[in-house]
Amino acid sequence: MAPPSSDQPADAAEAAQAGAISKVLVVIAMQTEALPLVTKFRLVEAATEESIFPKGAPWTRFHGDYKGLHIDLVWPGKDPILGVDSVGTVSAALVTYASIQLLKPDLIINAGTAGGFKAKGAGIGDVYLASDVAFHDRRIPIPVFDSYGIGARKTFATLNIVKQLNLKVGKLSTGDSLDMSPHDESAILSNDATVKDMEGAAVAYVAEMFSTPAIFVKAVTDIVDGEKPTAEEFLQNLISVTMALDQVA
Amino acid sequence: MAPPSSDQPADAAEAAQAGAISKVLVVIAMQTEALPLVTKFRLVEAATEESIFPKGAPWTRFHGDYKGLHIDLVWPGKDPILGVDSVGTVSAALVTYASIQLLKPDLIINAGTAGGFKAKGAGIGDVYLASDVAFHDRRIPIPVFDSYGIGARKTFATLNIVKQLNLKVGKLSTGDSLDMSPHDESAILSNDATVKDMEGAAVAYVAEMFSTPAIFVKAVTDIVDGEKPTAEEFLQNLISVTMALDQVA
């Protein structure tokens, strides 16, 4: 997909300093990833009577003011039958869509954990800001549909954030599986990705639809091209790496 | 995922006859699939000033009355940059969500084309009603998360529709790729699927979230376990098979 015009690169930090950004929507996939940020930003959970989401949706919202910004932090919540976090592209797209419509944020921050590729320089606990996002599990081998499936997008330019927080920068590739099949791997290589998650490109798709700037901050919980199985390493590192994400915030 | 309780099986046709269903939402992925139904039901396109969807969303709606039912037919529209139909789970979930909130349908019909497995008895042009839906490309090898990823659901019981329209019945498996990787194939076999599409399980997920009954009518455009590449066979048969879908309606 053609990247958005970059004739006039915007900068989230500069815009925030200039007062252009007053409402930030933080979209997170898992409760474990969200809670340290809730504490850090001193957010409070929206009471049932304050709920902005329709009855039936398990989506959860915390909100509060922090350093002059109003922050809404949402996550797709627990699956009502299975009790696990509603991870993946469909849930993330839905809660992002509903939150954009109901909260009209000036900026979206999709924060969370990711797999990293050591061949591209990633290590456990590294925090990346994504320069680009794309999907790696939407293969549609028909001309033009192929580009739609990959859904490659440049993210909102954030040079000052990178400098101020000393983040690493790399491309992010998104898919609905925690593991990586050979087909996924080939697409991830083609996407030139350093980090791999399960939500980013879907959040970017919805954000672009409504012209809302979005940035992607991903902390590495497991090395995809390493020796340990992803699921095991992911669970071992989820808590400690989530703390790294907290320290960047 | 545990199927919903089937102690009191509902039946869409009976419910419609009893007057319980007056508003039907038809969710379709591609314009080519939608237009024969628009003609069949004599639907008219919602004018720009009637648009119920937020500015920025490419989603399209046709509506009208047919045999005592009010029908809204939606599809995710053309990608604004690439110009192709916005196929796949994310777009389908979003337009289904927005339509449920804005139109409050009594029944959702997700209609469209699908790949069929000849090993399970499917042939080109066959029209299936899905008894079950599941995903085949959301592999999350952590206990319970694995079931969430597969997202298996029983569909709304529609025995009368099957009898009246002489449809075939089979399980539907959904993924965001038109082709089928070995990992997909293994998951599709595990899902015991006869037909394979790119939207159904996502529509089912959203419908269940808001307790809206949903049925899935899928016409076979290509044989996945046949000799021709799926993309080629799909394009060759899309028009003629869409006509088969029209004749069932």
The predicted pLDDT at position A42 comes to 93
CA distance B187 to B192: 9
> Euclidean distance between the first and final Cα of chain A, in Å?
31
Residue range A33-53, pLDDT digits in tens: 898 889 988 999 998 777 899
Q: What percent of chain A has pLDDT over 90?
A: 69
The predicted pLDDT at position B47 comes to 82
Query: What is the average pLDDT across B34-57?
Result: 89
The predicted pLDDT at position A165 comes to 74
CA distance A130 to A116: 12
Q: Which of B106, B184, B222, B246 is catalytic?
A: B222
Does residue B240 register a pLDDT over 90? no
Mean pLDDT of chain A: 88
Angle B89-103/A200-209 helices, nearest 10 degrees?
Answer: 50
Q: What is the pTM of this model?
A: 0.91
Query: What pLDDT band is residue A235 in, cutting at 50, 70 and 90?
Result: confident
CA distance B185 to B190: 8
Does residue A121 register a pLDDT over 80? yes
Q: What is the ipTM of this complex?
A: 0.90
Q: Residues 10..39 of A with a Cβ closer than 8 Å to B: which?
A: none
Residue whose C-alpha is closest to residue A157's, from A55, A45, A10: A10
Query: What is the average pLDDT across B69-91?
Result: 96
CA distance B194 to B168: 10
Give exposure, B206-240, as e/b (b: 16+ Cβ within 10 Å): bbbbbebbbbbbbbbbbbbebeeebbebbeebbee
| Cross-strand pairs, B171 | B132
Structure-block tokens of residue B185: 């194939």
CB A191 within 8 A of CB A124: no
Asked if B235's CB is within 8 angstroms of A148's CB, the reply is no
The predicted pLDDT at position B9 comes to 38
- The residue to which tokens 């569909």 are assigned: B155
Which of A84, A141, A183 is closest, CB to CB, to B183? A183
Asked if B81's CB is within 8 angstroms of A205's CB, the reply is no
Judged by average pLDDT, the poorest of A180-189, A211-220, B12-21, B74-83 is: B12-21
Query: What is the average pLDDT across B116-138?
Result: 95
Give exposure, B82-105, as e/b (b: 16+ Cβ within 10 Å): bebbbbbbbbbbbbbbbbbeebeb
Query: What is the average pLDDT across B126-151?
Result: 96
Q: Please indicate whether residue B222 is annotated as part of the active site.
A: yes
Q: Residues 88..107 of B with a Cβ closer than 8 Å to A: which?
A: 88-90, 93-94, 97-98, 101
CA distance A26 to A165: 17
Does residue A98 register a pLDDT over 60? yes
Q: Residues 49..88 of B with a Cβ closer than 8 Å to A: which?
A: 54-58, 79, 81-88
